Structure 1
């Protein structure tokens, strides 16, 4: 299911550029599948051991998910520190159950605006 145009406009043009500037905002950095340029997306999730878990609102139609398909090597900025890792799509995971275990504020937004939830796990390098 496609994301609503209003939500896409708000996130891409207003919210994400502002939130990316916050020094302790969690960011996912993928490599653009066409451009090869780093792409940074603000998101929420939870670090569990050496794994970072989050849920994509728009599943396979998210640009960063498409970038992960092309190159699963990513970086995640957690508490102001960048860590490299490998992203894995986890379609068999229950994203609604996963959201109950992730930070509430972000999970509320994902549940509210999401149209095709998809769990993603990043195995972080030691």
Structure 2
């Protein structure tokens, strides 16, 4: 069974990396999180489904610590988030003690459904916005 999960992870992440994400990043109102590449130092933009609540932006990583952008956040928590076509600076917090399935209930339904369907080792992320 673990091998099936590894294959699923590789297939889903390949489709996201080479097909879905490049297309989604071009949509002007797609929500994005921009991290700094931990090795390259270059900006890395990843489409996410989340919600702004006051001065915070919440989302759930479908592969937790295995997600490249989570690994980038761990190395440098300073991020930018594009919400509604506008960029905001902030500091990301990884919240392993938060219940990500409960959190998904408060986030946009379409993305939350995909995260539940394809995800494994879900991890809640909160970005404390500074502007």
**Fold match, TM over 0.5?**
yes
SS at match of 2:120: coil
Q: What stretches of structure 1 of length at least 5 have no aligned partner?
A: none
Query: 1:115 aligned to 2:120?
Result: yes
CA offset digits 1:94-123 (Å, max 9, x no partner): 000000011100000000000110000000
1:23 to 23, 28, 42: 28
Aligned length: 126
When the two chains are superposed, the root-mean-square deviation of aligned CA atoms in Å is: 1.0
Whichever structure has more helix as a proportion of its residues is 2
Runs of 4+ more than 3 Å apart: none
Which has the higher mean CA deviation after the structures are superposed, 2-11 or 108-117? 2-11
1:72 to 72, 77, 88: 77
Partner of 1:81: 86
Partner of 1:100: 105
Ranked by relative contact order (alpha carbons within 8 Å, sequence separation 6 or more), the top structure is 1
SS at match of 1:4: helix
d(CA) in 1 for partners of 2:9, 2:68: 15
SS at match of 1:34: coil
TM-score (norm 1): 0.97
Q: What stretches of structure 2 of length at least 5 have no aligned partner?
A: none
